[in-house]
Amino acid sequence: MAEWIDRSDALHHLFDVVPPLVGLDTEFMRTDTFLPRLALVQVQAGPHVALVDPTAGVDPAPLARVLADPAHTIVMHSAGEDLEALATWNCAIARLFDTQIAASFAGLGAGLGYQKLVREITGVELPKAETRSDWLRRPLSPEQLDYAEQDVVHLPQLHAQLVERLVARGYLGWFEQDCERLLERARNREPDPEPQLGLRGAADWSRDAQALLRRVLRWREATARTIDRPRSWLLDDAHALDLVARPPQDADELAGRTKGLRALRSAQRADLLDVLRTPLADEEREFVPIPRAPDARDKQVIAKLKEAVVARAAALDLPDGLLCARRHLEALLASRRWPPALEGWRREVLHDALMDRLP
């Protein structure tokens, strides 16, 4: 039975003796906020499993010290969003073992869910009913408590089996690189400096129009974070494109064209109107333009690049998606620059094969 911890002193006692391996998971909610609302932290430390309640005012310092100590390996599954949730509680991890990433290198498949991985390695069938629970309600139901406990209790066994497979296949070093890259992204989580790249519908716009779109999207990111509301509640993509394509003449027109946006109140509308009206500075015209959709010739080149990735993945007995995503091939073709996402071991195995196929 997992220990429920809603007092700071109890969390201190949990870490009186800390094993080298600590299993960790989180539950969080993100329905009406920009930042995830951390609702529960599950910890497996030696023989102890604890469910820590961050909503009860527990001091996270003892946990933060353990996570930040590279002497402890923190075992998690698909840790990306959990790292962001933990950051809201001032917790950051120094040494991560992500079992989902490990499964990819171990020959078990890419993007494997926790339940499937546990079944594959332990034969245990886990419940799925609480995946979309309200984790902020108190008290949690017995079903929620059991689900939360199961999310960490199997991590030590997964770790042992996956390490054995990684060593046998010779991929432990590459795996560790990928875990470190994931941690590095979490440590340096900054707003996307080029958010316009995700809106391909504006690829044919003038440079000034794209620059204004970039400014509006960066304003949206900063403001949504400040007021802690989802981006789409403040300004969804469709409204952003429409307002930049046809800037409103005044505040009344802006208000009329943005009805229904729940987080765009009068103060934010006034700011947005200034963002839309202020003339562009010279430095704002220095940015990465939105790439056009690949034409027929580009698609042929991308297909050849993809063939090279698939062939290399087959030779390595790894999922091709683990080596390189299609978006990175498109970026390589558009810029002729090696994508930062493909640095490290991926450069070693892909660089020559891909660069030789560029026209």
pLDDT of 299 reads: 94
Residues 167 and 266 in one domain: no
pLDDT digits (tens, 9 = 90+) for 186-237: 998 889 999 999 999 999 999 999 999 999 999 999 999 999 999 999 999 9
pLDDT of 91 reads: 97
pLDDT of 131 reads: 66
Could you give the C-alpha distances from 36 to 28, 136, 156, 229, 230, in angstroms and in order? 6, 12, 27, 10, 10
pLDDT digits (tens, 9 = 90+) for 247-278: 999 999 999 999 999 999 999 999 999 999 99
CA dist 186 and 74 (Å) reads 15
pLDDT of 127 reads: 78
Cα R_g (the chain), whole angstroms: 24
Residues 144 and 25 in one domain: yes
Could you give the C-alpha distances from 261 to 206, 216, 233, in angstroms and in order? 27, 15, 5
End-to-end CA distance of the chain: 61
> Domain containing 221: what range?
195-285
pLDDT of 74 reads: 98
Residues 135 and 204 in one domain: no
Domain annotation covers residue 325: yes
Q: Are 288 and 195 in contact (CB under 8 A)?
A: no
Which CATH number does the domain housing residue 50 bear? 3.30.420.10
pLDDT of 43 reads: 98
Residues 13 and 160 in one domain: yes
Residues 11 and 89 in one domain: yes
CA dist 38 and 85 (Å) reads 6
Which CATH number does the domain housing residue 260 bear? 1.10.150.80
Domain annotation covers residue 291: no
Domain annotation covers residue 105: yes
Whole-prediction pTM value? 0.92
Residues of the chain with pLDDT under 70: 129-131
